[in-house]
């Protein structure tokens, strides 16, 4: 029987429970939106304070050498690498997902000059699709064009016109996990490359880029890595591709010797060429500190808790009158979904807003999707119990039907 006492026992036995204290969580909030913005690690606060007050304030420009600012993109990249199944020398922290996709799609176009199609899912995250469309407008559709199909049709759509398959490992709306190994193998069988977006999987579940023979990948620092709003992103390029072509955003930090101030660009070796402009030290320092929380974490244990949190949510939901009102969009099989659940409801926006007013933070996605994210580093089983109790109260009182929710905020 699932009751409050049983849920408390789950928290008592949770091997990851002590990590919750590493985060500055508001006492009056239950935060189930870590799949959009991770919570604040306490270590990031002290790290940023030191970076501002001592490194910038006292040591000033000497900190590029004294405190290793210049090497931070590599250092952060190497912390991310084992969390996504990458050997050293294949990940670097830089820019945003969008900018990094521009780099990788350009590289794909150069590596497969006789092919023009970038194949993606119609329900992929929009920025991924936008970057293909923008580059297609720049190069012309004869060089690069976007073809979108349903997720289930990706394998059947592969042919010798496809230069690359661009997909999110975990669908941002539904939470469905796509089979990275299988799709990558199918792409390689027709000579195509793969570009994986790991924004909704990295930091919440094991990822095996090298073992899956992935070619390229991108990810962000502000979701499950808890690096803060606008945290820099990262890019992965398999070692076998690093010396083949040069990415086109040839900024000075990607030069082989930036402080030689050579007027002619010469790309740095390895992942350094994927750098462009000066790294954002304050935000990168916060991300660097946040990643330290993963140093001794077994990603399988993290995944196990993620699955358990989602399963508990569904089990508790099924015992309430809400079960017939919220339509599950995520796969019912936990092995097929990431660290989130998505539900369809005609008043999903109002539900989310009224839920937030009661102290439970989830989010809404068009057109009618309520998303609940589970961050295993800091979410507890008690959070799930209290969240469901709060959601029942919202519906029972009709708070989600308040006319205020007819006007949506800029960020939903």
Q: Which of 23, 222, 313, 374 is catalytic?
A: 222
371 catalytic, yes or no? yes
197 catalytic, yes or no? yes
Of 195, 231, 11, which is closest to residue 108 (Cα–Cα)? 195
Q: Which of 79, 176, 223, 305 is catalytic?
A: 223
Q: How many CB atoms lie within 10 A of CB 411?
A: 7
Q: Which of 23, 31, 102, 125 is catalytic?
A: 125
Q: At 2, list the tokens.
A: 């699932």
CB 120 within 8 A of CB 129: yes
In the three-class reduction of DSSP (H, G, I as helix; E, B as strand; rest coil), residue 140 is classed as coil
Q: How many CB atoms lie within 10 A of CB 110?
A: 14
59 catalytic, yes or no? no
Q: Which helix (H) or strand (E) holds 363?
A: strand 363-365
Q: Which helix (H) or strand (E) holds 192?
A: none
In the three-class reduction of DSSP (H, G, I as helix; E, B as strand; rest coil), residue 297 is classed as coil
Taken in order 35, 15, 380, 296, the sign of the CA dihedral is negative
Q: Which of 14, 197, 288, 383 is catalytic?
A: 197
Q: At 15, list the tokens.
A: 């091997």
In the three-class reduction of DSSP (H, G, I as helix; E, B as strand; rest coil), residue 111 is classed as helix
Of 265, 216, 232, which is closest to residue 99 (Cα–Cα)? 232
Residues involved in catalysis: 125, 197, 222-223, 371
């Amino acid at each position: 029987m699932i009751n409050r006492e049983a849920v408390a026992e789950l928290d008592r036995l949770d091997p990851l429970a002590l990590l919750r204290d590493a985060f500055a969580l508001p006492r009056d909030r239950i935060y189930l939106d870590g799949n959009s913005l991770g919570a604040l690690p306490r270590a990031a606060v002290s790290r940023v304070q030191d970076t501002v007050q001592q490194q910038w304030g006292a040591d000033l420009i000497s900190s590029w050498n004294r405190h290793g600012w210049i090497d931070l993109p590599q250092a952060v990249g190497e912390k991310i690498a084992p969390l996504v199944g990458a050997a050293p020398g294949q990940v670097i922290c830089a820019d945003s997902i969008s900018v990094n996709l521009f780099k990788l799609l350009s590289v794909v176009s150069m590596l497969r000059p006789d092919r023009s199609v970038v194949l993606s899912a119609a329900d992929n995250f929009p920025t991924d699709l936008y970057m293909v469309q923008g580059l297609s407008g720049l190069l012309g559709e004869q060089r690069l064009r976007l073809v979108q199909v349903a997720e289930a049709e990706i394998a059947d759509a592969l042919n010798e016109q496809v230069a690359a398959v661009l997909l999110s490992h975990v669908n941002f709306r539904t939470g469905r996990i796509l089979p990275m190994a299988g799709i990558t193998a199918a792409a390689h069988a027709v000579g195509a490359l793969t570009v994986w977006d790991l924004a909704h999987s990295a930091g919440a579940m094991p990822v095996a880029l090298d073992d899956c023979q992935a070619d390229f990948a991108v990810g962000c620092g502000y979701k499950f890595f808890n690096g803060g709003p606008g945290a820099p992103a990262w890019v992965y390029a398999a070692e076998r591709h690093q010396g083949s072509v040069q990415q086109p955003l040839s900024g000075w930090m990607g030069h082989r010797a930036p402080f030689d101030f050579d007027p002619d660009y010469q790309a740095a070796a390895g992942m350094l060429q994927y750098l462009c402009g000066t790294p954002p030290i304050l935000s990168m320092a916060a991300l660097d500190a946040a990643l330290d929380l993963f140093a001794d974490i077994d990603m399988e244990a993290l995944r196990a808790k993620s699955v358990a949190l989602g399963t508990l949510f569904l089990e508790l939901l099924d015992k309430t009158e809400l079960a017939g009102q919220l339509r599950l969009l995520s796969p019912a099989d936990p092995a097929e979904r990431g660290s989130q659940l998505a539900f369809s409801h005609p008043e999903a926006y109002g539900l989310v807003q009224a839920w937030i007013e009661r102290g439970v933070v989830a989010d809404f996605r068009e057109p009618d999707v309520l998303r609940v994210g589970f961050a295993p580093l800091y979410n507890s089983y008690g959070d799930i119990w209290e969240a469901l109790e709060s959601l029942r109260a919202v519906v029972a009182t009709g708070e989600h039907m308040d006319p205020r929710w007819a006007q949506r905020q800029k960020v939903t």
